[in-house]
Amino acid sequence: MVLWLIPALFFAALEAVAVSKNSRRLEYVAKPAVMVCLFIWLYTNTGLQGNTLWFGLGILFSLAGDVLLMVSPGNRMFLLGLIAFLFAHIFYITGFREELGIVSAWSLILLVFIAINVSRLIRRIIGAVRAKGENKLIAPIIVYGTVISVMLYAAMSTIYAPAWKTSAAFFVSVGAFLFCASDVVLAWNKFVSPVRNGRVWNMVLYHLGQIGLVAGVISQLG
């Protein structure tokens, strides 16, 4: 049942408009509404039974992170939002924990590819953070970057996991990648250099990523 996907897409589009128009009032409604719709969509299709409970918790902590980052753009709220999203990724990883145990030539290639590229991005972001004199953010960024890399690896491991349907694996893999891409845009725009329409791109990638993850989980486990 895709009933709750429709309002999720509507509010995601509304959020993109709100950010582009710098309408904080509209953003306060649209941004959290997306994750609320996704949570209801997941719940009505799975009852949060078994492994889907972890994905439900991931959505709720993502919602908390959204609110924290939305309330105040300052570094204190950024750090709290980072912690909320850190737990969201940990819950997603827990949901994909069985896929983490798959060892093959493809898994090693995927692991090396993600590790190399993410480490390059983290080094660039840390360099910018250090240049701004915000050294207290370095450790949290390293931890967060490591955890999100594991989440991406775990989600993309479904591609060669025998138990996963091709369509479901595609959705969660693309969703995880877009989620990670949104975090890169957010960090780059905040610390390294302004990205044209960076906030809009951040939210579009983030919401498409979350929608992809939930759609894949429902397709596989619903």
**Which band of pLDDT confidence, cut at 50, 70 and 90, is reported for residue 73?**
low
Q: Give the per-residue pLDDT at 74.
A: 60
> 178 is in which domain, residue-wise?
5-221
pTM: 0.93
Q: List phi, psi (to 5°) of 110.
A: -60, -45
CA 212 – CA 205 distance, rounded (Å): 10
Per-residue pLDDT tens over the stretch 151-178: 999 999 999 999 999 999 999 999 999 9
Q: What is the average per-residue pLDDT within 131-135?
A: 91
Per-residue pLDDT tens over the stretch 193-210: 999 999 999 999 999 999
Number of domains present in the structure of the chain: 1
CA 88 – CA 117 distance, rounded (Å): 22
Q: Are 125 and 138 in contact (CB under 8 A)?
A: no
Per-residue pLDDT tens over the stretch 96-126: 999 888 888 999 999 999 999 999 999 999 9
